[in-house]
């Protein structure tokens, strides 16, 4: 029986990978995401940056050239370097916030869907309150209370993500807990914790993974929005939203457009990459689609 289960898992994995690879959006998203992650990881090795010394005041607001491919900003800093490290900052915030939101939201969703009574009512009430506020406004309110910074931004975006994962996980639990394999485990004496951890959670992973991938794109936009408002990463840490804010505040967006084009372009590419990857994963895990949706 153990061999049959292992073969079934392998066959299912092979089927999912085949579906994913037939998805054009999935392949493009995977390539873009891989490039962005590699850029973020290799930044300190391939292009070391010291905000205190990497400035050339004689080259302030220089147009893109061989020496500075993306031009320079008002302090003479190389925009390519700033964008490179800005991607690193954005991905760090997005991955940590989505990971924290996924962990807390999934646990609360499992409890809310399986446990009835006041616990379920209280968690649902909390979810409804959080979802009633626009995500960016809720994040702004949280960061305003905590104070600006990387940690505050990460926690704020994570709190915004919690009710999304909680609602998704709860819906999966409500669907799966009446299935035959769960009833069989219950009849054999499995505890609620064993049923949730060994049976319901593994069966719920596919939509959770897809939602997590899509949420990274959303978190990137929210991090950029907070950075633009001055509530995200603080100087001298490079951050894409803060770079846009500096350009607009200095009035360089029209006269020196490269100060806004490149940070905005890489925000767009990051969001697009994870959204395409999420579409591909959705095509792979959707049992109702024999062919990819795109």
- Report whether 285 contacts 12 (CB < 8 A): no
Residue with tokens 């993306």: 70
**Which pLDDT score, from 0 to 100, does residue 292 have?**
37
What structural domains and CATH numbers belong to the chain? 74-285 (1.10.3720.10)
Omega cis (within 30) before 156: no
Percent of the chain with pLDDT over 70: 91
pLDDT digits (tens, 9 = 90+) for 221-269: 999 999 999 998 888 889 999 999 999 988 888 889 999 999 999 999 9
The pTM of the whole model exceeds 0.75? yes
CA angle 23, 101, 221 (to 5 degrees): 60
Percent of the chain with pLDDT over 90: 44
* Calpha distance 218→274 (Å, rounded): 9
**Which pLDDT score, from 0 to 100, does residue 291 have?**
44
DSSP tag of 234: P
Q: Which helix (H) or strand (E) holds 13?
A: helix 2-22
pLDDT digits (tens, 9 = 90+) for 94-117: 999 999 999 999 999 999 888 878
């Amino acid at each position: 029986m153990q061999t049959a289960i292992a073969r079934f898992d392998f066959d299912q994995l092979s089927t999912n990978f085949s579906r994913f690879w037939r998805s054009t959006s999935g392949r493009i998203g995977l390539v873009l995401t891989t490039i962005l992650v590699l850029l973020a990881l290799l930044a300190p090795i391939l292009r070391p940056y010291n905000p205190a010394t990497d400035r050339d005041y004689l080259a302030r607001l220089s147009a893109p050239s061989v020496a500075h491919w993306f031009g320079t900003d008002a302090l003479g800093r190389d925009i390519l370097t700033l964008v490179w490290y800005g991607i690193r900052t954005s991905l760090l915030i997005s991955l940590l916030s989505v990971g924290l939101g996924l962990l807390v939201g999934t646990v609360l969703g499992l409890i809310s869907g399986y446990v009835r009574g006041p616990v379920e009512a209280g968690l649902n009430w909390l979810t409804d309150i959080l979802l009633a506020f626009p995500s960016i406004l809720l994040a702004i309110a949280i960061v305003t209370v905590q104070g600006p910074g990387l940690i505050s931004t990460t926690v704020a975006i994570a709190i915004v993500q919690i009710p999304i994962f909680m609602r998704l996980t709860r819906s999966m639990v409500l669907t799966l807990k009446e299935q035959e394999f769960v009833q069989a485990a219950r009849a054999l004496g499995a505890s609620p914790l064993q049923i949730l951890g060994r049976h319901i959670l593994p069966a719920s992973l596919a939509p959770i993974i897809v939602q997590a991938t899509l949420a990274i794109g959303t978190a990137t936009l929210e991090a950029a929005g907070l950075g633009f408002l001055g509530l995200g990463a603080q100087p001298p840490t490079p951050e894409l939203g803060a770079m846009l804010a500096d350009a607009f505040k200095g009035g360089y967006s029209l006269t020196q457009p490269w100060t806004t084009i490149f940070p905005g372009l890489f925000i767009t590419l990051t969001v697009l990459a994870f959204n395409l990857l999420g579409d591909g994963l959705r095509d792979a895990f959707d049992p109702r689609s024999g062919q990819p949706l795109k």
